[in-house]
Every structure is written in C-alpha cells, then in structure tokens.
C-alpha cells in the first residue's frame, strides 16, 4: 500500500498454530520505504492488546497519549493500550506478535496493568527474558519473510506456557468482551461467573484496565473498525448500537484517539489502513482487540 508519494508500507500477517490460537492473534511483518525528504512514515494507531515488536532494520519511534516520541528498542513490549499510540517508522522492516490477554497471562508473570499504555525495552526488562533468544535470532537473520516467520513459529512452539488458576476466567472475560450485546460491567461479571470486585481485580491483572474502561474501548473499536474497512462511510453509519447519539461517540473518540473524528478522518493512515485490510483478510477482524479468542 502506498503511504504517500515516494513512500510505501507493506504489511503481511500470519496466523499462529492451533495450539497457540488462544494466546496469539497474529504474527505481522511490516516493511516501510520512506521517501527521501521524509525520514519516517507516521500513523496514529488505535488502542490494542499487548504486542511484542522486533525492529530488524531501520528506526522506529512511538508516543502514547501525551508522551513525547521515544526511540523504539530493537525488541519492545507494548502493553495493552487505552490511549492512541502514535507510531513512526523509517525505511526498514519489523515483526510483531499480537497477544490476547490469555497470551499475556500464559507468557509473563507481570501484571498487565503495570505495562498499560507503555513501551518498554524487552531486552532489559527481566519479565520478557524468554523472548531475548528470538530477538537475537531475528537481528541476525537475512530479512527473508519465510525464514523469519519460521524463526518466530519455532520459538513460539518451544516456549513454556504458564498455567495459572485465573486463566479460565481470563478466557471467559475475553470471549464476553467481543460480544456486542454486553454493555454493562454486571453483565460482564455474570458471563465470567464472578462477582464485580473479583472481576475488577482480574481485569487489571490480566487485561490492564478496569472492566468499565474495557467495555467502553470495545464499543469504540467496533465503530472504528467499520470506518477503517470503508473510509467512505459517514461516522453516523458506523456507530455501534450501544451509542446513545453522536455526541456520546465523539466523547469516546476523543478519549481513545486524542482528537475528534473529523480531525482523524483527514489524517493519512498509511500503516493502519494497510494493516486493517490485511488483518481482515487473514484473521477475520480489522483490529486486534476485536479478535475472537474462541474462533477456530
């Protein structure tokens, strides 16, 4: 997909093995060619679950919310987000691994809330030591898509998955969050089979945010996904059924994206639009947080 005159963005997705589908949404490869007078291709991304990113060549920078841009480490861990990350990448390539909440719990002992709306260096944080060998292998590889995908798949198949007592509850909450009929925290708690206080503790530990914010984010992303798949649509025709009116939607838009929908619609979206179409084609959803963990 051409981002702008003289620059391009190519994104390719691959699905995990059947064993890893409850934990991983997709593996994704991004290649950017920036034009000579603009060193970065920039985009404002939507909120997501956690991602592991490996920058194999070139530079990348990220800013979440009001934070200033910072260099993205060679191996970075982006926690679950409820603020729009602004991401820019120079000519080069990178790999990403999208994690479901169950994947975070199975791979890491760390609380998701401790990494929410943050980008950290995976090589220096001991919580992510299991992925350092993969980061080193990708750094030394040739850049061939099939070769590097094989490195990722081999590492993921070999990695030890933690089993904790709260994982069945995380799975139930994940499944409920992609159900558009669930609008209230009490309904989410009923579906998960727990009281609201227990749900709140689980939600911050496994998902990074409160149940109320998670439901609000899902409602917003269902609307945003419709626009991403067909930018010719008017915002009113993309609104989720849980929105009372357009003003309600605009408040959520500003909360999660840091700007209003009209301002956002005018922006170039070289990375996001390429990703939405490619992800939809292979995974059945335009955005990671709408990925159904029960889909086979």
Bridge partners of residue 51, in order along the sequence = 78, 98
Write the Ramachandran bin of 69: left for phi over 0, alpha for psi from -120 to 50, otherwise beta: beta
C-alpha 22: how far from chain center = 15
Domain ranges within the chain, ordered by starting residue: 1-290
Residues 6+ away with beta carbon under 8 Å from 237: 226
C-alpha 158: how far from chain center = 23
User: Which position has the token pair 């930018």?
Assistant: 231
The residues of the chain scoring below 50 in pLDDT are 1-5
- What backbone phi and psi angles, to 5 degrees, belong to 77? -115, 120
* Fold of the domain built from segment(s) 1-290: Arc Repressor Mutant, subunit A (1.10.10)
pLDDT of residue 236: 66
Per-residue burial over 263-285, b = 16 or more CB atoms within 10 Å of its CB, e = otherwise: ebeeeebbbbbbbbebbbeebeb
Which 3 state secondary structure label does DSSP give 289?
helix
pLDDT of residue 243: 83
**Cβ(25)–Cβ(19) under 8 Å?**
no
Which 3 state secondary structure label does DSSP give 264?
helix
SS (H, E, C) 156-212: HHHCCCCCCCCHHHHHHHHHHHCCCCCCCHHHHHHHHCCCHHHHHHHHHHHCCCCHH
Q: What is the CA radius of gyration of the chain?
A: 18
DSSP letter string, 16-29: PPGGGTTTEEEEEE
pLDDT of residue 233: 66
End-to-end CA distance of the chain: 29
User: Which position has the token pair 């301002």?
Assistant: 263
Pairing assessment for the beta strands 92-99 and 85-89 based on DSSP bridges: unpaired
Write down the pTM of the prediction. 0.93
DSSP letter string, 276-288: HHHHHHHHS-SSG
C-alpha 198/C-alpha 182 separation (Å) is 18
C-alpha 246/C-alpha 79 separation (Å) is 30
Residues 6+ away with beta carbon under 8 Å from 99: 23, 24, 25, 49, 50, 51, 52, 107
pLDDT digit string, tens, across residues 261-271: 889 888 888 88
């Amino acid at each position: 997909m051409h981002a702008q005159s003289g620059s391009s963005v190519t994104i390719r997705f691959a699905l995990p093995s059947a064993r890893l589908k409850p934990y991983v949404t997709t593996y994704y490869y991004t290649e950017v060619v920036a034009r000579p007078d603009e060193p970065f291709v920039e985009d404002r991304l939507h909120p997501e679950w956690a991602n592991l990113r490996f920058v194999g060549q070139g530079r990348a920078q990220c800013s979440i919310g009001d934070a200033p841009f910072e260099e993205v480490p060679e191996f970075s861990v982006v926690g679950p987000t409820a603020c729009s990350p602004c991401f820019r990448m120079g000519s080069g390539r990178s790999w990403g691994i999208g994690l479901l909440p169950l994947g975070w719990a199975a791979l890491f002992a760390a609380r998701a809330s401790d990494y929410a709306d943050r980008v950290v260096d995976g090589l220096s944080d001991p919580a992510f030591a299991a992925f350092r060998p993969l980061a080193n292998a990708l750094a030394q590889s040739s850049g061939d898509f099939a070769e590097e995908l094989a490195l990722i798949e081999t590492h993921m198949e070999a990695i030890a998955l933690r089993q904790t007592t709260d994982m069945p509850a995380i799975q139930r909450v994940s499944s409920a969050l992609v159900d558009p009929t669930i609008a209230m925290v009490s309904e989410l708690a009923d579906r998960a089979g727990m009281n609201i206080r227990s749900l709140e503790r689980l939600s911050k530990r496994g998902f990074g945010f409160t149940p109320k914010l998670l439901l609000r984010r899902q409602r917003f992303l269902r609307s945003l996904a419709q626009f991403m798949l067909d930018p010719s649509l008017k915002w009113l025709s993309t609104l989720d059924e849980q929105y009372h009116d357009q003003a309600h939607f605009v408040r959520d838009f500003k909360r999660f994206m840091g700007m209003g929908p009209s301002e956002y619609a005018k922006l170039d979206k070289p990375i996001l639009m390429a990703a939405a179409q490619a992800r939809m084609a292979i995974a059945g959803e335009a955005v990671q947080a709408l990925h159904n963990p029960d889909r086979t």
